[in-house]
Amino acid sequence: MTKPVFRFAPSPNGRLHLGHAYSALLNADFAKRFGGRFLLRIEDIDIARCRPEFEAAIYEDLAWLGLVWESPVRRQSEHFSDYRAAFLRLKERGAVYPCFCSRKEITAAIACQETETDRPWPRDPDGTPLYPGTCRNLSDEEAERRIASGEPHAWRLDSAQLQRMLPGPYRYRRFDREGREEIVAADPWRWGDTVVVRKETPTSYHFSVVLDDALQGITHVVRGQDLEAATDLHVLLQTLLGLPTPLYHHHGLVLDQTGDKLAKSRQSTSLAEARAAGLDPQAIRQRLGF
Ligand code: GLU
């Protein structure tokens, strides 16, 4: 039997905090208990926000925690051509369409719909209003003309088309700390016409995470509950691209004193600060329940 493969996949856009430490330690703990491998992947597709010093700090913080991972580490920014090739497959299948809208235009179209229907516009599980479909019905000629003229554009999944092509039902297997598995129903349609290729990068989080998990042979994905709903979309992308669906475990989030989830953007205490304040790795492990 092949060994289970786990991965921790941080983005180098800030210092790691206790929530990251928990996720990394849990992955490594699972890998150890299941006799599996533990990989690290640097999710740095957002070249404007990711910085080499944060990547260096990830290695430093994880090593300080006592974690050991396999080399070489996969860095997503080195694989834009893989994402491009996979995207062309989606395009050939007619699963995506180009979208030229700016955020402002999308907001205005939704406000207009809300006024017209006197109803709140539906939102995705992250709370973002679903794309109102403005560019869905552009003619091929117009879309090609606008692309040829250099107009910035993203590529979105055509969810109406996909519901006809691949109606489902969708499901995946989740596992718990004891290794028990159960089947979970997935509803990818609640994400609407998601962006798979952004305007400014040749991929997106959802697209590259699904491709890389498959390329790296990840069998078990362990990540925070904040990404649980995204798994529904990942299962659809795996089906569309003919990729295997790993097993998933979505762990609880480490909260701060006020009950909010830790976030780099809220300047939550970083591991580096905890270290500077005199905490040792053993104390961190204990605090996180290992
Ligand atoms: N790069 C993502 C993050 O830092 C995690 C992706 C994943 O585990 O699927 O939140």
What residue owns the CA closest to ligand 1's atom 3? Answer: 10
What atom in ligand 1 is closest to the CA of residue 20? 4
- Residue 148, pLDDT above cutoff 80: yes
Band of the pLDDT at 277, cuts 50, 70, 90?
confident
What residue owns the CA closest to ligand 1's atom 10? Answer: 10
**Ligand 1 neighbours (beta carbon < 6 A):** 9-11, 43, 209, 223, 227
Centroid of ligand 1 to alpha carbon of 11 (angstroms): 7
Centroid of ligand 1 to alpha carbon of 254 (angstroms): 15
- Looking at residue 1, its pLDDT comes to 67
- Looking at residue 223, its pLDDT comes to 98
pLDDT single digits (tens) 37-70:
999 999 999 999 999 999 999 999 999 999 999 9
Centroid of ligand 1 to alpha carbon of 237 (angstroms): 16
> Same structural domain for residues 102 and 195?
yes
- Looking at residue 2, its pLDDT comes to 84
With the most atoms of ligand 1 within 8 angstroms of its CB, the residue from 205, 231, 268 to mutate is 205
Task: Compute the distance between CA of residue 65 and CA of residue 148 in angstroms, rounded to an integer.
Answer: 50
Number of domains in the chain: 2
> Same structural domain for residues 72 and 99?
no
Task: Compute the distance between CA of residue 172 and CA of residue 105 in angstroms, rounded to an integer.
Answer: 36
Task: Compute the distance between CA of residue 238 and CA of residue 218 in angstroms, rounded to an integer.
Answer: 13
Q: What is the domain extent for residue 127?
A: 80-215+230-239
* Three-class SS state of 251: strand
Mean confidence (pLDDT) of the chain: 95
Q: What is the pTM of this model?
A: 0.94
* Three-class SS state of 183: strand
pLDDT single digits (tens) 202-261:
999 999 999 999 999 999 999 999 999 999 999 999 999 999 999 999 999 987 767 777
Is position 127 within any domain? Answer: yes
Characterize the bridge pairing of strands 220-224 and 247-251.
parallel
CATH of the domain at 235: 3.90.800.10
Is position 247 within any domain? Answer: no
Band of the pLDDT at 264, cuts 50, 70, 90?
low
- Looking at residue 66, its pLDDT comes to 97
- Residue 161, pLDDT above cutoff 70: yes
Helix axes 80-92 and 228-241, enclosed angle (nearest 10):
70
Is position 1 within any domain? Answer: yes
pLDDT single digits (tens) 176-207:
999 999 999 999 999 999 999 999 999 999 99
- Residue 266, pLDDT above cutoff 70: no
Q: Dihedral angle at the C-alpha atoms of 4, 197, 171, 226, nearest 10 degrees?
A: 80
Is position 225 within any domain? Answer: no
Characterize the bridge pairing of strands 74-75 and 247-251.
unpaired
Band of the pLDDT at 28, cuts 50, 70, 90?
very high
> Same structural domain for residues 142 and 265?
no
Query: DSSP label at 200?
Result: S
Who wins on pLDDT, 85 or 277? 85
